[in-house]
Copies of this chain bind each other. A is one copy, B any other.
Amino acid sequence: MTTRLLLLFSLAATVLLSSPVLAEDVLPSWRAGAARDAILEFVEQVTDESGPHFVPPKERVATFDNDGTLWAEQPVYFQLFFTLDRVRAMAPEHPEWKTTQPFQSVLENDMDALMAGGEESLIPLLLATHTGMTTDEFSATVSDWLATAVHPVLQRPYTDLVYQPMLELLDYLRDHGFHTYITSGGGIEFMRPWVEAVYGIPPEQVIGSSLEMEYEVVDGKPVLRKLPELHFFDDKEGKPIAIQRFIGRRPIASFGNSDGDFQMLEWTAAGDGLRLAVYVHHTDADREWAYDRDSHIGRLDRGLNEAPGRGWIVVDMKRDWEVVFPFELEEK
């Protein structure tokens, strides 16, 4: 290549690559304030090659809780809505459910009776709807459900109920060389069919709870069958354990919304160098829901107490988010 050509190439590359991004252009659904500033400042510092806090791209791991952090979780976890819908859909093949609890309560739409037994009492529903089939069959069932199911309160498809500011944050972090992982208490196999399209998070970056599986060869064709036994519950202490097992690197940034995320944030924040630990606090009863210390879902108590003293960021959804759900943008 001639010197002249090289020069032109370099010029052209500069033009193509260096359109500057102003701080106002990024995270547009985040209102100016301490939370947004802390995030921008952190990303700037860990990506500044000449600064003291630089982190190489391969170590830029950010982990996100899902329920209540990336999408809504009220009035109950969406995976429970899936479970109830599946019980109704499968009921014709199980006439005995009409007179067997907890199935009977589901079929009679008696949510009070159903929830009275606590989370333990829901396990038979989970096993009936999440096990026995192959992983491929389950994945297809989840996709089919999401294509038609509607949230009973907000009357929207569930995948509409993701948080616009968090979608922008995921993109922003990835644009800055971060690897964005989900670390959810929900099921890995329940998330994988849709999180790549919705969040841009590929299957290999989804960590969550899981059931045991069995490898079986049926008519010469191998399948993986989901078994009625818990393999791993990815909550509380489970989150840093799963992060270590799946990723083998400590995140430099973590995002959660409940005490179930406390240990993940603690583990992240305790690493060497600059770290970012963020709680999303549900404070907006008008646009979403307002809940924390006493909530039956996504309880945030210890986290609220300790976040300030630990230097963790608490995002106040009502104060810090200009937009909550993506559909608000269309309505504007």
Contact = CB atoms under 8 A, between A and B. Distances in A.
Contacts of A135: 244
Nearest to A206: B248
Contact of A267 (B5, B215, B247): B215
Given A8-B8, A9-B9, 16 more contacts: A1-B15, A8-B12, A9-B16, A12-B12, A179-B204, A203-B249, A204-B246, A204-B248, A204-B249, A210-B245, A213-B244, A214-B241, A222-B240, A222-B263, A222-B266, A246-B246
Nearest to A245: B210
A304 interface: no
Contacts of A246: 204, 246
Interface size classification for chain A: 35 or more
A190 B240 CA distance: 19
Contact of A241 (B5, B224, B248, B270): B224
Given A222-B267, A263-B222, A248 B203 contact: yes
B204 A224 contact: no
A267 B11 CA distance: 49
Copies per complex of this chain: 2
A215 B8 contact: no
Contact of A9 (B8, B241, B244): B8
A228 interface: no
Main secondary structure of the interface of A (DSSP, over half): helix
Interface of A: 1, 5-6, 8-9, 11-13, 15-16, 58, 135, 179, 188, 192, 202-204, 206, 210, 213-215, 217, 221-222, 224, 231, 237, 240-241, 244-249, 263, 266-267, 270
A214 B188 CA distance: 21
A59 to B, nearest CB: 10
B215 A241 contact: yes
Contacts of A203: 247-249
Contacts of A263: 215, 222
29 contacts: A1-B16, A5-B8, A5-B11, A8-B8, A8-B12, A9-B9, A9-B16, A12-B12, A58-B202, A135-B244, A179-B204, A192-B248, A203-B249, A204-B204, A204-B247, A213-B241, A213-B244, A214-B237, A215-B237, A215-B241, A215-B267, A217-B266, A222-B263, A222-B266, A224-B240, A224-B241, A224-B244, A231-B245, A246-B246
Given A222-B270, A237-B215, A267-B222, A248 B5 contact: no
Contacts of A244: 135, 213, 224
Nearest to A239: B215
Nearest to A1: B15
Those 8 A-B pairs whose CB atoms lie nearest each other, nearest first:
A203-B248, A9-B12, A215-B237, A204-B247, A8-B8, A213-B241, A192-B248, A222-B267
